[in-house]
Amino acid sequence: MTTPLLAVRCLGKRFGGLVALDDVSFDVAAGETVGIMGANGAGKTTLFSLIAGNQQPSSGGVDFDGRPITGLSPDRVCRLGIGRTFQIVKPFPALSVLENLRTAAMFGRAGFRDAAAADRHSRAILDELGLADVAERPAGTLTLSGQKRLEIARAVATGARLVLLDEVMAGLTPTEVARMLETLRQLRATRGLTLLVIEHVMRALMDLCERIVVLHHGERIAIGTPAEIGADPRVLSVYLGAGA
Amino acid sequence: MTVVDTLLSGQLLFAALVTGSTYALVALGLNLVYGTLRVLNVAHGDVVMLGAYAGYWAFTGLGVSPLVAAPLIAALGAIAGLLLYRGVLRRMLGSGAASSVRLEGNSLLLFFGLSIILQNAAALALTPNNRGYSYLDTVVHLGGVAMTGHRHAALVIAGATCIAAALFLSRSLAGLTMRAVIEGREAAYIVGVDVERVQAMSFAIGFASAALAGVLLSMLEQFSPFSGFPYTIAAFIVIILGGLGNVAAGLGAALLLGAIETYGVALTSANLRSVLLYGVFVGALLLFPRGLFARRAARA
Amino acid sequence: MPETLASAGASRIWGGTLAALALALGALPFVANDYAVATGLGLLMWLALTQSWCVLSKMTGYVSLGHVVFYGLGAYLVVVTWQQWPLWLAVLAAGALAAVFAALVGLPVLRVRGPYFVILTFGVAELVRYSILAAEAASGTASRILFGAPDLVFIYFAMYALAAAATLLLAQVAGSRFGHGLRSLRENEEAAETLGVPVVRYKLIAFVLSAAIPGMVGAVMALRSTYFVVGQVFDPMISVTMIAMALLGGGDGTRGPILGTLFLFTISELLWANAPLAYMLILGAILAGFVLLAPDGIVGIAAKLRARRSAPTKAPE
């Protein structure tokens, strides 16, 4: 049995009296795409913050590629190979789109020391995400859809092996969703990415993910293939009401 | 005087109360302005200074008692605050500044610039020399404490105003509305609060209370165009320690600050007054690095 | 906002101007009288101070309103070790003292963000000022009289070296990977950290780098005064002037601060002798005015004009 790329072990997070995550565990194998599903407030983004190091867990831990990364600062976690997007986009507004990626390319796992090499690396990714023609524009002037693609581009540009995608489909039209799905599939294939995906857009989740973890009030209530999840009684009762 | 004697002295306690209540009054205004607008008006102390000059003239020029002039000068302050809000602030807030943090950082420099302008304009127009006058100079003995009449008056006025403000905020509908805006501006919009009016009102009250504090200050001490700034610092300390928008706790924090200063100076030397003030200031900010965001709400 | 190099031509013009300025200032003591040299010394001082300030505040967005504390500490060290330490040692030690102070104070202070950082740095500087004043009062020293200072030309060239060092430092930082990391954390600290920028370490390094030269500047300027008053070397207006000069210039390379310093220094020279209060008033007006109307300074205004004249998709670098 090979070591999973990501192992979430009994992860818990409390904020004062509020329990955001409670004893959540699951594994992600290298190359897999795993979805995270749950209502708002179920703890999904907190999960990402704990994995990426933006916040510290109250209990439990996270292993990446066999070694524990619990408690490491976000920049160290990034250099080890985990990239993430933020649900509320955080671009570098006054820097150009290309410069946004340059940061990722220079400081992430890819670690380019030289700006020119970093930019070559970045331009390829901008191409794949349809941002090549706005490369020189200040990131703050992009549309929301563009900024969301920029989030993904940056996370990928770090050279990450595992990318955490937080609701990247939110607010997209069905056509845009289809395009984004295609883009993500392509990125995943060409770079051998492992993906952890938070999504509300069911179609995207079912389409992209091999397995899905369902969270409810901070607990893991189900884990399985999209088909299994669709038939799981507990999931159905949470989403459709008791007795469904 | 031994340390114990100093600490138990009714005289010093009274002095601490007077200082503390003045700080509370100054902090009250800044609390409201910052709370509703998230704008750090570092020129707040200079409004106090201007109030002091107004009180000085009312007395030396027009022969009007500062106690009578005080409410009028406070009203003038309120009008000035409203004008400033309508004239300058709305433009700044509406200009769609890049991020709210940048706006706050920029607004601090903006008000700092305004502060420098005010202080030096006053110095140019009114000379940089110290001004002062004597009013209600007779010493009043009350329960073993001997204090000049003007100190009693200052304590009463400052204290009463702060208590009235605290009651206003906690008991009246308008006060509740103001607290709502302080705690969550967006949410207040959604429930239909006229945020514009609340902001204008807080500016008016802010400037009024600062001007009032200035008049009291003119009775108590000599002052110059540059006397205002330490009051801004004191106001910040009070807000940091007492919490944003929390006028009642601010009262406590102000009295504490007054006590630290008064007793600290008495136990050591007058030279340390500013050291204590800035020491507490730096300490408070370092202990509460999120500064004035006192509410530690649980995040979902 | 990053510097805009509209064309190779523009950057050649700037390079030429800079070289001419350097030469002119270098030749000054040999061709002009003492008054002119003293004026040039003032200009060099502000070039050194403002550009050092930019290494921290322009690059990271952490605006320091208390930078005078490094200048003051450096000056104080020289005065306190007067005639006991060789001058070169005292000046170098002043830089080291400022750097160490920055390293110690930086960690807790840099945890504070935005406007609170601004007033906190102000508070720290004032705390140091009043503490030293109180200590001096307690020991009975009101002021000091210093004999045997080196002559003006020596001091001038020491400051020339410091101004050159500050220019080189800022240029290096602005163009380096480190500088890109600083800009990133300025734009969004959380995102930068998540992309691998070691924000805590980088902020501290920028803080320390920005402190060393002002420490040495203070030390060198202390050599000028025969009559030393502590309060003056910790004057908050020195911090404010650094900010105003940098704000006036704009950008986040060396061009802005140099332009801003030249401009404001000229105004101050015209006003300071005859109308110091008016000068302060103008300083305040510049601060308030530029924040409100032109937060990217002269460089920003120039960039906007250029953008309007050339193709609409012109982008900043």
| CATH number of the domain that residue A43 is part of | 3.40.50.300
**Mean pLDDT score of chain A, rounded to an integer?**
92
**How far is the C-alpha of A20 from the C-alpha of C51, rounded, in Å?**
46
Query: In chain C, which residues have their Cβ closer than 8 Å to the Cβ of A158?
Result: 195-196
Mean pLDDT of C167-184: 96
Specify which of A5-14, B55-64, C134-143, C268-277 reaches the highest per-range mean pLDDT: A5-14
Instruction: Decide if B281 touches C, using CB distance below 8 A.
Output: yes
Render chain B in DSSP notation, one character per residue: --HHHHHH-HHHHHHHHHHHHHHHHHHHHHHHHHHHH----TTHHHHHHHHHHHHHHHHHTT---HHHHHHHHHHHHHHHHHHHIIIIIHHHHHT--S-HHHHHHHHHHHHHHHHHHHHHHHHHHH-SS-B----S-SEEEETTEEEEHHHHHHHHHHHHHHHHHHHHHHHSHHHHHHHHHHH-HHHHHHTT--HHHHHHHHHHHHHHHHHHHHHHHHHHS-B-TTSSHHHHHHHHHHHHHH-TT-HHHHHHHHHHHHHHHHHHHHHS-GGGHHHHHHHHHHHHHHHSTTTT----PPP-
User: Mutating which of A75, A78, A114, A131 best tests the C interface, going by the most C Cβ atoms within 10 A?
Assistant: A75
CB contact under 8 A, C286 and B114: no
Mean pLDDT of C254-276: 88
Instruction: Decide if B190 touches A, using CB distance below 8 A.
Output: no
Q: Per residue in A64-88, pLDDT tens?
A: 999 999 999 999 999 999 999 999 9
Query: In chain B, which residues have their Cβ closer than 8 Å to the Cβ of A94?
Result: 98
* pLDDT-wise least confident of B269-283, C91-105, C189-203: B269-283
Instruction: Decide if A140 touches B, using CB distance below 8 A.
Output: yes
Q: How many domains does chain A have?
A: 1
Which two three-digit tokens encode residue C305? 């004009």
The ipTM assigned to this model is 0.93
CB contact under 8 A, C114 and B105: yes
Q: How far is CA C186 from the centre of its chain?
A: 19
- Which domain, by its residues, includes A219? 6-240
Give the residue extent of every domain in chain C: 8-235
Q: Is the pLDDT of residue B98 over 70?
A: no
Give the residue extent of every domain in chain B: 3-287
Q: Which residue has the higher pLDDT, B274 or B294?
A: B274
Give me the residue from B98, B99, B299 closest to A15, CB to CB: B299
Residue A1 within a domain: no
**Dihedral (Cα; C244, C247, C252, C253), 10-degree rounding:** -60
Q: Which residue has the higher pLDDT, C144 or A66?
A: A66
| Contact between A89 and A151 (Cβ < 8 Å) | yes
For C289, the 3-state DSSP assignment is helix
Mean pLDDT of B41-68: 88
Residue A11 within a domain: yes
Instruction: Decide if B106 touches C, using CB distance below 8 A.
Output: yes
In B, minimum Cα distance to C130 occurs at: B275
CB contact under 8 A, A15 and B99: no
Neighbours of chain C (3+ CB pairs under 8 A): A, B
**How far is the C-alpha of A57 from the C-alpha of A51, rounded, in Å?**
9
Q: Is the pLDDT of residue B102 over 70?
A: no
Closest residue by Cα to residue A232 from A220, A221, A216 = A221
Q: Is the pLDDT of residue B299 over 70?
A: no
Q: Is the pLDDT of residue B291 over 90?
A: no
For A36, the 3-state DSSP assignment is strand
Q: Which residue has the higher pLDDT, C13 or C95?
A: C95
Minimum distance, in Å, between the CA of residue A88 and any CA atom of chain B: 14
Inter-chain CB pairs, A–B, below 8 Å: 15
For residue A241, what pLDDT is reported? 65
Q: How far is CA C308 from the centre of its chain?
A: 32
**How far is the C-alpha of B2 from the C-alpha of B24, rounded, in Å?**
30
Domain spanning B3-287, CATH architecture:
Orthogonal Bundle (1.10)
**How far is the C-alpha of A11 from the C-alpha of A23, rounded, in Å?**
5
pTM here is 0.89
Note the maximum CA span of chain A: 60
For residue B13, what pLDDT is reported? 85
In B, minimum Cα distance to A19 occurs at: B300
For residue B143, what pLDDT is reported? 67
Q: Per residue in C29-69, pLDDT tens?
A: 888 888 899 999 999 999 999 999 999 999 999 999 999 99
Minimum distance, in Å, between the CA of residue B289 and any CA atom of chain C: 5
For residue B100, what pLDDT is reported? 46
